[in-house]
């Protein structure tokens, strides 16, 4: 058996952190703070990686790739606001704890495929709580405030939704409920979730959830009419949504022509495109750009801010890292024998991939822009913690398969 070495990507991560924070140190007024932030980031990533290697916890490339993405994000966040960068490190620390907890819990428990009703009910409860107790931010009612912190329940709901779908498509759940077959029940729950998301005006999550649903149908469903029927229904709903919802009309109009109203509705996407184009191939240099002109540069448009200062090659590096991350996750899903774990790994991989495509495609004007975060890169506590939790589950699935492989070799 060929031995897999993780030394080269680990060395690349160290070099990436040292070079990145050295440049930021020279370009930033808060030099002492940048130094401590850089040391903290590198120490945290190496600690996580060391634990994975020592304990043999599945695929180590996932954490290395995610660490590189987080390094890019923290560099830009510290460039924008050193306090924001420091807060992001705190959230990464919390996410690291959640990563190991989700890994241990998923690895130890063996009846996840029996809890389909719990996943669906928990999702509905979180939606209701958001509508009743939530607050509106940037036009979407998808936040719940807990005093000093606020979180987005929709991020957690995406994981619950994937685990719910996996119960059906793994064959673990095959009994009718309320006279509905599991196939129809998954459709009913999906559209119920979408109705809740429409009420919250959370268009980005709608795209992610429904796209996961369609891809899972395509992979698993043996009845073509179910796939074509749902795609047709989506097209009809999209048509009437464009006809009767002003917000969607604005989004599509700005996507087609942001220059007509560049000072108002088209301002965000126009500034995003200006930033990317001004960066050229190699960027203007860390600290030499003008990210203050980019709205929401720390969340939705952080990719544009990175391209301005690190260039098209910097943006391409991020896309390649996401491609490698998705490839490793898909490989874990394909190599997994347990049907439920396979479906969960596939669904979570689709979640990461689709979210990345939707936000990067939006800021470069490839598709209409919707407000979602860039996994591991954008600022945000809920996004970071949920991304770590999802990665922990995939890591646990990888470790379960490694353990089975080791047992077979011993025999």
Dump pLDDT digits (tens) for 322-341.
999 999 999 999 999 999 99
Tokens found for residue 250: 């604005």
205 in Cβ contact with 154 (< 8 Å):
yes
Euclidean distance between the first and final Cα of the chain, in Å?
15
Buried-exposed string 77-106: b where 16+ CB fall within 10 A, e elsewhere:
bbbbebeebbebbebbeebbebbbebbeeb
Q: Pick the closest to residue 86 from 152, 122, 32 (CA basis).
A: 32
pLDDT, tens digit (0-9, with 9 covering 90-100), for 234-285 = 999 888 888 888 888 888 998 988 888 888 888 889 999 999 999 888 888 8
| pLDDT at 149 > cutoff 50 | yes
Note the pLDDT of residue 411. 47
SS (H, E, C) the chain: CCCCCCHHHHHHHHHHHHHHHHHHHHHCCCHHHHHHHHHHHHHHHHHHHHHHHHHCCCCCHHHHHHHHHHHHHHHHHHHHCHHHHHHHHHHHHHHHHHHHHHHHHHHHCCCHHHCHHHHHHHHHHHHHHHHHHCEEECCEEEEEECCCCEECHHHHHHHHHHHHHHHHHCCCCCCCECCECHHHHHHHHHHHHHHHHHHHCCHHHHHHHHHHHHHHHHHHCCCHHHHHHHHHHHHHHHHHHHHHCHHHHHHHHHHHCCCCCCCCCCHHHHHHHHHHHHHCCCCCCCCCCCHHHCCCCCCCCHHHHHHHHHHHHHHHHHHHHHHHHHHHHHHHHHHCCCHHHHHHHHHHHHHHHHHHHHHHHHHCCCCCCCCCCCCCCCCCHHHHHHHHHHHHHHHHHHHHHHHHHHHHHHC
pLDDT at 139 over 80: no
**Residues of 213-242 as b/e, b for ≥16 C-beta within 10 angstroms?**
bbbbbeebbeeeeeeeebeeebeeeeeebe
Ramachandran quadrant class, 73 (left: phi over 0; alpha: psi -120 to 50; beta: rest): alpha
Burial bucket for residue 331 (CB in 10 Å: 0-12, 13-18, 19+): middle
More confident position, 146 or 249: 249
Specify whether the CB–CB gap between 332 and 395 falls below 8 A: no
Residue 178, pLDDT score: 65
Mean pLDDT, range 368-387, rounded to an integer: 90
Over its C-alpha atoms, the chain yields an Rg (Å, rounded) of 22
d(CA 46, CA 98): 17
d(CA 168, CA 161): 11
Q: In sequence order, what are the residues at sequence separation of 6 or more whose Cβ sits closer than 8 angstroms to the Cβ of residue 6? A: 49, 53, 60, 61, 64
pLDDT on residue 304 = 92
Condensed to tens digits (0 to 9), the pLDDT of residues 207-242 reads 999 999 999 999 988 788 888 999 999 999 888 888
pLDDT per residue as tens digits for the range 90-101: 899 999 999 999
Provide the percentage of residues in the chain whose pLDDT is more than 70.
92
Which pair of structure tokens corresponds to residue 47? Answer: 């600690």
| Percentage of residues of the chain with pLDDT beyond 90 | 43
Mean pLDDT on 144-170: 89
Q: Residue 31: what pLDDT?
A: 61
**Half-sphere exposure of residue 162: CA atoms within 13 angstroms, side-chain side:** 24
The structure's pTM equals 0.91
Backbone angles phi, psi at 145, to 5 degrees: -95, 135
Instruction: Give residue 410's pLDDT.
Output: 47
User: Which whole number is the average pLDDT over 132-154?
Assistant: 82
Between CA 42 and CA 50 the distance in angstroms is 12
Domain ranges of the chain: 7-410
**pLDDT over threshold 60, residue 4:** no
When pLDDT is cut at 50, 70 and 90, the band that residue 1 belongs to is very low
Q: What is the pLDDT of residues 243-255, one digit of tens each?
A: 888 888 888 998 9
Supply the pLDDT for residue 3: 52
Distance of alpha carbon 236 from the chain centroid: 28
């Amino acid at each position: 058996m060929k031995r897999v070495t993780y030394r080269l990507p680990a060395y690349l991560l160290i070099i990436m952190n040292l070079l990145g924070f050295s440049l930021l140190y020279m370009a930033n007024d808060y030099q002492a703070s940048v130094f401590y932030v850089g040391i903290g980031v590198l120490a945290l990533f190496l600690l996580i990686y060391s634990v994975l290697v020592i304990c043999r916890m599945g695929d180590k490339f996932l954490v290395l790739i995610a660490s590189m993405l987080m390094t890019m994000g923290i560099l830009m966040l510290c460039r924008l606001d050193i306090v924001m960068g420091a807060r992001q490190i705190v959230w990464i620390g919390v996410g690291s704890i959640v990563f190991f907890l989700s890994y241990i819990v998923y690895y130890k428990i063996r009846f996840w495929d029996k809890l389909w009703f719990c996943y669906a009910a928990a999702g509905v409860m979180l939606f209701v709580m958001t509508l009743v107790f939530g607050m509106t931010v940037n036009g979407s009612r998808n936040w719940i405030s807990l005093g000093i912190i606020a979180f987005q329940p929709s991020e957690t709901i995406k994981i619950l939704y994937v685990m719910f779908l996996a119960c059906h498509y793994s064959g673990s759940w095959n009994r009718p409920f309320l006279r509905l077959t599991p196939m129809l029940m998954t459709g009913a729950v999906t559209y119920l979730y979408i109705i809740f998301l429409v009420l919250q005006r959370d268009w980005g999550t709608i795209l992610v959830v429904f796209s996961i649903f369609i891809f899972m149908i395509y992979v698993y469903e043996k009845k073509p009419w179910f796939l074509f029927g749902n795609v047709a229904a989506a097209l009809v709903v999209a048509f009437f949504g464009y006809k009767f919802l002003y917000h969607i009309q604005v989004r599509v109009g700005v996507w087609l022509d942001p220059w007509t109203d560049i000072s108002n509705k088209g301002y965000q996407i126009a500034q995003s495109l200006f930033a990317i184009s001004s960066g050229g191939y190699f960027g203007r240099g860390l600290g030499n750009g003008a990210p203050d002109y980019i709205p929401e540069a720390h969340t939705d448009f952080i990719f544009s801010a990175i391209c301005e200062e690190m260039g098209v090659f910097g943006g391409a590096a991020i896309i390649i890292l996401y491609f490698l991350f998705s490839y490793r996750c898909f490989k874990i899903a394909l190599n997994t024998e347990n049907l439920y774990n396979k479906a969960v790994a596939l669904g979570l991989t689709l979640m990461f991939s689709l979210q990345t495509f939707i936000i990067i495609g939006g800021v470069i004007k490839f598709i209409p822009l919707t407000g979602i975060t860039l996994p591991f890169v954008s600022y945000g506590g809920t996004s970071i913690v949920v991304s770590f939790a999802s990665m922990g589950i995939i890591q646990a699935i990888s470790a379960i398969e490694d353990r089975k492989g080791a047992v077979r070799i011993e025999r």
